[in-house]
Structure 1
Amino acid sequence: MYEFLIIGGGIAGLAAGQALAPLGRVLVLEAEAAIGHHASGRSAALFEESYGKPAVIALNRASRPDHATAGHLSARGFLLVAVEGEDAAFEADLQAMSIAEMSVADARTRVPILSDGVTRAAFEPDAMDLDTDAMLQAGARAVRAGGGAVLTGMRVDAIARAPGGWQVWAGGETHEARTLVNAAGPWADAVARMAGATPLGLTPLRRSMARLKAPGGHDVRGWPMLMGAGESWYAKPDAGAWIVSPAEEDPSEPLDAFADDMVLAEGLARYQEAVTEEVTRPIATWAGLRTFTPDRLLAIGPSELDGFWWSVGQGGYGFQTAPAAARLLADRIAGRGSELGAETVAALDPRRFLRMTA
C-alpha cells in the first residue's frame, strides 16, 4: 500500500508528489499517455508575482525562492498596452498589478511593432519565464526517488474506502493508499463524486492560442510578454515564433480542449489594433482549460472525508504557485504549521465551500 495516491499528473499533482515524497511513498495516476497533457502542457509559462488575488500573490511570493533555486526562471518582462477607449481598464490593471506606466515611445523600443493606435503603456521588468517542462520532470523524479511511481494511461474508473485508506480502480488495476489527493483539474469534481466527497463547483474555462511566425521577421526572443488592457489578449515569444491568445474564459465541459476559430479570430483582431504587422495565418492553434473554484482561489487542503484531500482550482496560476501550494498541502497533511499566514491558509481551505452551502 502506498502512503499517498495522487489523481492527476499535471503540475498540481506532480508538485504535490514532490512535496509529499519525504513523508511516504507516492503513487501518481495520470489518465493520459503523458504527464502534463492538458492545462499544464498548454500554459503561457510566465511568473508574475502580482498576478492574482491576495492569497494567490502570497503563494507566488512563497514560491519564488523555489523557482529561483531550481533554475526555473529566466528574464522576460511584461508590457501592458492600451488603445483608445481602454483607459479605465488600463488604470485598473495598473492598480491591480502594481506596475509602472512608461511612455509609448519607450514601450516601442522594447516591442517595435506597436502601432500608432497604442495610447498608453506600462512595463514590469520582474516578470519571468518559467521552465514548465523542467518543473513537471522534477516532480516526477522526486516521486520516483522516494520509492514511488508515476503511471500514465490510468484513467480512474472507481474509488472506494479500503481498510486503512482507499482503493482506486484505474487502467484495469487496483491501487491502494492511505491518503488520496485529488489533483485532477477539470475532472476533480467527478473524482470527488466517485469517492463520496462533496464537489466544489469547479468551472473549467477554455483559453485558445495561436502560434504565428515572428512578426515582420523580427527576432522576438528578447521581447517581453505583451498584454492588452483588461487582459483582452496577450502575446509572447515562443521558441522563435510568436503566440497570441484572445484570453477568453468560455465555460467548457472537462475534455481535451481545442481552439474556437471564431473566438481566436476576434482575439487576433483585438491584438491587430495594437501592432503594425499584419496577422498571418497561424502555424498552429490549440486550447487549454483553466479550472477555477467559485471564488477563483485555489483549494488546497482537506475535504469532509478523512484521508481525502484537494489540490485544485489552479486556474491560470498553477505553475507559479506550485511549490508553495504543494508545500501547504504537505504541511496540512503532516499536521505542521505553514509558512503562509493563517488568513491565507483559511482562504485556500476547500471546506470554505461546504460552509457556503450549509
Structure 2
Amino acid sequence: MNERSDVIVIGGGIAGISAAAEIARDARVTVLEAEPVTGYHATGRSAAIYIRNYGNAVLRAINAASEPTLAAPGALCDHSLLSPRGELLIASESEMPKLQAYAADAVGLERLSAVEAAQLVPILRPERIAAAIYEPGAQSIDVDAMLQGYTRLLKARQGKVITKSPVTAITSGGGHWKIAAGGASYSAPVVVNAAGAWADAIAAIAGTAQIGLQPMRRSAAILNLPPEHDVMSWPLFGNVSDTWYAKPEGGKLMVSPADEDAVEPHDAWPDDMVLAEGLDRYEQAVTVPVTRVERSWAGLRSFVPDRTPVVGMAPDAPGFFWLAGQGGYGVQTAPALSQLAAALILQRGPTLDPDIVAAIAPDRLF
C-alpha cells in the first residue's frame, strides 16, 4: 500500500516537526522519523537557550525573526516558551580581540568589569578576567513544550507523525517522490530533508547532490555545587573563545567543553578525555573544584562549510527541499525557518528579508 501526501518530511526533530506543522495549514503532511520518539537526537540534547547574538550575521537575523513566536507562541502553548536567564561571556587579556569582535555587530550587550562579572556568577575568579560582556536578553527555552506544541498543532491540522520508520529508499518519477520507510511506502510531490546529521545520507539515498554536511559532537556534564550557591539565579556563562560554558539546570550546573569533533552521524556519546579536558578549562576559571560528574551525554551539531543553515529547493532535484545545517542554532531558529519553509513550499511570499533567504538557499553550495 502506498500512502500519498502533499509533502513528506524526513526527520522528527524540532526542524522537521515545526516545518510540518506550518506546512500542514494548507497541505497534507506526513513526518517520517527513524527513532521511536520525536526529538531524540539534537533536539532532545539541546542547551535550550535563546541568544539573540549567537552566530554569524545571517543567523542573528533569523534568531531575531524567531523571538516573537518563542515569546508569544499562540496556538503552540498557553505560556511563553522563554524564561529569564542571561548570558555572560568572560575574556582574558589574550581573548580581548575575540570579545571585541563578538560585540562589534551585537545588540543589547552590556560591558562588565571582572568584579561585576563575579557578582553575577560568584564562583568566577576575577583575577582571570580582563573584561566581560553580558546579554540580559538571553533566555532559556522550554524545548519540550515547544516540540510538543508543534506536534499538537501538526496533528490538529490532520498531519501525521510516523515513528520507527527509517528511510531505506527514495526514488522520483512522474512528479512524485516515492519513499520506502519502516516497511511501508509513501509518496508526495515534495519531500523535505530535515534529517539533521543524516541529511546528506538521505540525499545520497535519493540520488541528489549532497551539501557537505559535517556532524560535530558536543558533550555536556551535570555537576553538583555546594548548597550555599543558588545557581538558578545565575546566567549561562562561559569564555568568549567558546572552549567551555556552563548553564544552570535544575538546581545544578550543566558544563560543556564546547567541543566540535567531526564524527559520522550516530547516536552520540561523550568522549571521556574530551569531557575531562573541557571540565579542566572550566575549573581553571572558577573557585569550586569539580569533584564528581553526576551524568554526561553528547549530541550532534551539523554544519556546512559556511556554518549557515541550508533552506530551499535543491537546484538539481525538483521537489527535494533542504532544511538542514542548523548547527547549534536549530531550536532557536525553528520558528523562523519553519515559516520560511512553508512559504517556499506553498509558493507564498517569505516574510524574511530576501537577502537572508538567498544567503541560506542551497544554490550557494553547488
Output the TM-score relative to the length of structure 1: 0.95
1:239 and 2:242 aligned: no
5 Å-filtered alignment, 1:188-337, equals 188-215=199-226, 217-303=228-314, 304-337=316-349
Q: 1:257-284 CA distances to partner (integer Å, 9 max, x unpaired)?
A: 1111111111111111211001121111
**Alpha-carbon separation, structure 2, partners of 1:229 and 1:332:** 36
Give the structure 1 partner of residue 190 of structure 2. 179
Give the structure 2 partner of residue 344 of structure 1. 356
| CA spacing shift, 1:217–1:154, aligned 2, 3 Å | farther
For structure 2, which runs of at least 5 residues remain unmatched after alignment? 74-79
Asked if the contact 1:211/1:283 (under 8 Å) is kept, the reply is yes
The residue identity in structure 2 corresponding to 1:101 is R
Asked if the contact 1:31/1:153 (under 8 Å) is kept, the reply is yes
**Alpha-carbon separation, structure 2, partners of 1:35 and 1:154:** 11
| CA spacing shift, 1:231–1:12, aligned 2, 3 Å | same
Moved more, 236-245 or 110-119: 110-119
The residue identity in structure 2 corresponding to 1:342 is P
The residue identity in structure 2 corresponding to 1:78 is E
Identity %: 47
Q: CA deviation at 1:333?
A: 1.1
Q: CA deviation at 1:82?
A: 2.2
SS in 2 for 1:85: helix
**Alpha-carbon separation, structure 2, partners of 1:190 and 1:349:** 19
Q: 1:159-178 CA distances to partner (integer Å, 9 max, x unpaired)?
A: 11254412111111112222
SS in 1 for 2:117: helix
Give the structure 1 partner of residue 77 of structure 2. none
Moved more, 100-109 or 60-69: 100-109
SS in 2 for 1:232: coil
Q: 1:196-255 CA distances to partner (integer Å, 9 max, x unpaired)?
A: 210000010111101111355422111100011211110001111100011011100000
1:24 and 2:30 aligned: no
SS in 2 for 1:230: coil
The residue identity in structure 1 corresponding to 2:210 is P
**Alpha-carbon separation, structure 2, partners of 1:216 and 1:35:** 36
**Alpha-carbon separation, structure 1, partners of 2:101 and 2:284:** 20
**Alpha-carbon separation, structure 2, partners of 1:168 and 1:190:** 14
1:35 and 2:45 aligned: no
| CA spacing shift, 1:69–1:281, aligned 2, 3 Å | same
| CA spacing shift, 1:242–1:96, aligned 2, 3 Å | farther
**Alpha-carbon separation, structure 1, partners of 2:279 and 2:147:** 30
For structure 1, which runs of at least 5 residues remain unmatched after alignment? none
Asked if the contact 2:86/2:236 (under 8 Å) is kept, the reply is yes
The residue identity in structure 2 corresponding to 1:5 is I
Output the TM-score relative to the length of structure 2: 0.93
The residue identity in structure 2 corresponding to 1:89 is K
Asked if the contact 1:78/1:224 (under 8 Å) is kept, the reply is yes
Q: 1:290-333 CA distances to partner (integer Å, 9 max, x unpaired)?
A: 00111111001001211110100000111111111111111111
**Alpha-carbon separation, structure 1, partners of 2:352 and 2:176:** 29
Give the structure 2 partner of residue 110 of structure 1. 120
Moved more, 199-208 or 145-154: 145-154
Q: 1:115-168 CA distances to partner (integer Å, 9 max, x unpaired)?
A: 132332221101011111111111211221111211111111111125441211
1:136 and 2:147 aligned: yes
The residue identity in structure 1 corresponding to 2:281 is R
**Alpha-carbon separation, structure 2, partners of 1:300 and 1:214:** 42
Q: CA deviation at 1:84?
A: 4.9
Give the structure 1 partner of residue 9 of structure 2. 6
The residue identity in structure 1 corresponding to 2:17 is L
The residue identity in structure 2 corresponding to 1:27 is T
The residue identity in structure 2 corresponding to 1:291 is S
The residue identity in structure 1 corresponding to 2:64 is R
Moved more, 311-320 or 217-226: 217-226
Give the structure 2 partner of residue 86 of structure 1. 95
Asked if the contact 1:26/1:146 (under 8 Å) is kept, the reply is no
The residue identity in structure 1 corresponding to 2:142 is D
**Alpha-carbon separation, structure 2, partners of 1:229 and 1:60:** 19
| CA spacing shift, 1:282–1:97, aligned 2, 3 Å | farther
Q: 1:44-75 CA distances to partner (integer Å, 9 max, x unpaired)?
A: 11111111112111111111111111211111
**Alpha-carbon separation, structure 1, partners of 2:89 and 2:263:** 28
**Alpha-carbon separation, structure 2, partners of 1:338 and 1:54:** 19
**Alpha-carbon separation, structure 1, partners of 2:63 and 2:282:** 28
Q: CA deviation at 1:18?
A: 1.3
Aligned length: 354
Asked if the contact 1:297/1:313 (under 8 Å) is kept, the reply is yes
Asked if the contact 2:23/2:346 (under 8 Å) is kept, the reply is no
